[in-house]
C-alpha cells in the first residue's frame, strides 16, 4: 500500500523527539517545585532538569499512545521513570561508585552539593517517583496503576538496577568477565528500566498480554543494543581521544562487548537486535512508527 509506506517514510523522528522532550521538560519542571528545605529540592532539581535525552519517558508515552491511551495518562509515569533514572545516575557518580565529576555536561550532583546531600537527593527522587505516579495518574484503573507501581519497584531494586550495579561493582578491574555475566549486568542495569518504560505505558491502558509480550521483547532487544553501541562508542571515542592526546592514561580495565566480540561483530550484533526489535512491532503497522524510529536511532551512531 503506497499510502502506508509514504506515511511511514514521513515519520520525522527529530521533530517527534523535540516535541516530546519539551512536553516532558514542562511536566518535570512542574512536578518538583522548590520549597523548604530548599537545599534538597535544589539538589534534586539540579540533576532532574540537567537535560538528557528523556528516552525512558518518551518510550512510555509512545507505548501508551500505541495501545490506545494518551500522553496525559502516561505523563506521571513518564516523569517517575526519569526521576528513577536520574537518581541512579546521581548515586552511580558518587565517589563510592564510579566517582565521576561530570554528567550530562555539568558537574555531578555531589561535586556541587557534597556527597551527603547527593545521596539524599537520590533518595528523595526515588521516593518522590512513587508518590508522584500514585498521586498524579488520572483516568487509569487502580489495578493497572498498582501493576505499574510494582513494575517500577522491580526495575529499580535488587531484581533490576541495584542487582546489575552490584554485579558490575564485583567485576570492576576484571577483563575476563564471561558473556553471561556481562549480559546479566546490562539486562539489569540498562534493560530493566528501559523495559519498564516500554511496558508501563501499555500496562496503564490494560493492553492485552500478547502486546505486552511483544513490547517486552522489543524492549529487551533495544536495551542490549543500546549497551553494545555504548561500548562501541566508548572505544571509538577513547581511540580518537588517544589520537589527540597520546600518552594519556587509558581508562580502567573493564569488560565490554567489543572486548569479547571485537568491534565488527559487536556492530553486527547490535544491528541484529534492532532488526529483531522492529520485527516485534510489525503487527502494530504504522502506529508503531515512533518505536521503530527510536529503535533505529539507538544504533544510528556505531562508527
Ligand atoms: C537505584 C537505589 C538505586 C541505586 C542505584 C547506581 C545504581 C544503583 C545503578 C546504576 C544504574 C546506571 C548508572 C545504569 C546505566 C544507565 C545508562 C545506560 C545511562 C545512560 O542513559 P542515557 O544515555 O542518559 O539515556 P541520558 O543522560 O540521555 O538520560
- Domain spans in the chain, listed from the N-terminal domain onward: 2-299
Site to substitute for ligand 1 among 110, 165, 219, most atoms within 8 A of C-beta = 165
* Per-residue pLDDT at 301: 72
Site to substitute for ligand 1 among 21, 51, 60, 85, most atoms within 8 A of C-beta = 85
214 CA → ligand 1 middle, Å: 24
28 CA → ligand 1 middle, Å: 18
Give 32's pLDDT tier (boundaries 50, 70, 90).
very high
User: Which ligand 1 atom is at minimum distance from the Cα of 189?
Assistant: 14
Q: By alpha-carbon position, which residue is closest to atom 17 of ligand 1?
A: 190
Residue 1, pLDDT above cutoff 70: no
Residue 283, pLDDT above cutoff 90: yes
| C-alpha span between 272 and 256 (Å, rounded) | 18
Q: What is the dihedral of CA 66, 68, 73, 76, to 10 degrees?
A: -30
Superfamily of 2-299 according to CATH: Farnesyl Diphosphate Synthase (1.10.600.10)
Estimate the crossing angle of helix 115-136 against helix 71-93, to 10 degrees: 160
ipTM of the complex: 0.91
Q: Which residues, 6 or more positions from 258, have their beta carbon under 8 angstroms from its beta carbon?
A: 231, 232, 235, 266
254 CA → ligand 1 middle, Å: 17
Residue 248, pLDDT above cutoff 50: no
Give 101's pLDDT tier (boundaries 50, 70, 90).
very high
* Per-residue pLDDT at 249: 44
Average the pLDDT over 261-269 and give the result: 95
Residue 10, pLDDT above cutoff 90: no
* Per-residue pLDDT at 84: 98
* Per-residue pLDDT at 247: 42
Residue 297, pLDDT above cutoff 50: yes
Which helix H or strand E contains 252, and what residues bound it? none
Q: What is the dihedral of CA 144, 212, 23, 30, to 10 degrees?
A: 30
User: Which ligand 1 atom is at minimum distance from the Cα of 160?
Assistant: 1
Average the pLDDT over 262-281 and give the result: 96
| C-alpha span between 95 and 101 (Å, rounded) | 9
Site to substitute for ligand 1 among 21, 81, 91, most atoms within 8 A of C-beta = 91
Residue 302, pLDDT above cutoff 70: no
Site to substitute for ligand 1 among 189, 191, 226, 301, most atoms within 8 A of C-beta = 189
Residue 137, pLDDT above cutoff 70: yes
Residue 217, pLDDT above cutoff 60: yes
* Per-residue pLDDT at 5: 52
196 CA → ligand 1 middle, Å: 14
* Pocket, ligand 1, Cβ cutoff 6 A: 52-53, 55, 85, 88-89, 91-92, 97, 104, 126, 156, 161-162, 165, 189-190
Give 298's pLDDT tier (boundaries 50, 70, 90).
confident
* Per-residue pLDDT at 236: 87
Burial of residue 246 (number of CB atoms within 10 Å: 0-12, 13-18, 19+): exposed
| C-alpha span between 112 and 118 (Å, rounded) | 9
Give 250's pLDDT tier (boundaries 50, 70, 90).
very low
125 CA → ligand 1 middle, Å: 14
User: Which ligand 1 atom is at minimum distance from the Cα of 157?
Assistant: 1
Cβ pair 108, 127 in contact under 8 A: no
Strand partners, 102: 107
Residue 7, pLDDT above cutoff 60: no
**For residue range 154-170, what is the model confidence (pLDDT) as tens digits?**
999 999 999 999 999 99
89 CA → ligand 1 middle, Å: 5
Higher-pLDDT residue of 9, 23: 23
Residue 251, pLDDT above cutoff 80: no
User: Which ligand 1 atom is at minimum distance from the Cα of 230?
Assistant: 18
Residue 209, pLDDT above cutoff 80: yes
With a pLDDT cut of 90, the percent of the chain lying above it is 85
Amino acid at each position: 500500500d503506497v499510502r502506508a509506506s509514504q506515511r511511514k517514510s514521513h515519520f520525522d523522528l527529530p521533530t517527534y523527539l523535540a516535541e516530546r522532550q519539551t512536553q516532558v521538560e514542562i511536566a518535570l519542571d512542574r512536578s518538583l517545585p522548590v520549597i523548604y528545605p530548599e537545599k534538597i529540592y535544589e539538589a534534586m532539581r539540579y540533576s532532574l532538569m540537567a537535560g538528557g535525552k528523556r528516552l525512558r519517558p518518551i518510550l512510555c508515552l509512545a507505548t501508551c499512545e500505541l495501545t490506545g491511551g494518551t500522553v496525559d495518562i502516561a505523563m506521571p509515569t513518564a516523569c517517575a521513570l526519569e526521576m528513577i533514572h536520574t537518581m541512579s545516575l546521581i548515586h552511580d557518580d558518587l565517589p563510592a561508585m564510579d566517582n565521576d565529576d561530570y554528567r550530562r555536561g555539568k558537574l555531578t550532583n555531589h561535586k556541587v552539593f557534597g556527597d551527603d546531600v547527593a545521596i539524599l537527593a537520590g533518595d528523595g527522587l526515588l521516593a518522590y517517583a512513587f508518590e508522584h505516579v500514585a498521586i498524579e495518574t488520572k483516568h487509569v484503573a487502580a489495578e493497572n496503576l498498582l501493576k505499574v507501581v510494582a513494575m517500577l519497584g522491580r526495575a529499580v531494586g535488587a531484581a533490576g538496577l541495584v542487582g546489575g550495579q552490584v554485579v558490575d561493582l564485583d567485576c570492576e578491574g576484571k577483563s575476563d568477565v564471561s558473556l553471561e555475566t556481562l549480559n546479566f549486568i546490562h539486562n539489569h542495569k540498562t534493560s530493566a528500566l528501559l523495559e519498564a518504560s516500554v511496558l508501563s505505558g501499555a500496562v496503564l491502558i490494560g493492553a492485552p498480554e500478547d502486546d505486552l509480550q511483544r513490547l517486552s521483547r522489543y524492549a529487551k532487544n533495544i536495551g542490549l543494543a543500546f549497551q553494545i553501541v555504548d561500548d562501541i562508542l566508548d572505544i571509538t571515542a577513547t581511540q580518537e581521544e588517544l589520537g589527540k592526546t597520546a600518552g594519556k592514561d587509558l581508562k580502567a580495565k573493564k569488560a565490554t562487548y567489543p572486548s569479547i566480540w571485537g568491534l565488527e561483530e559487536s556492530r553486527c550484533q547490535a544491528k541484529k537486535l534492532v532488526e529483531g526489535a522492529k520485527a516485534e512491532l510489525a503487527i502494530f503497522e504504522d502506529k508503531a512508527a515512533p518505536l521503530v524510529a527510536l529503535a533505529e536511532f539507538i544504533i544510528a551512531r556505531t562508527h
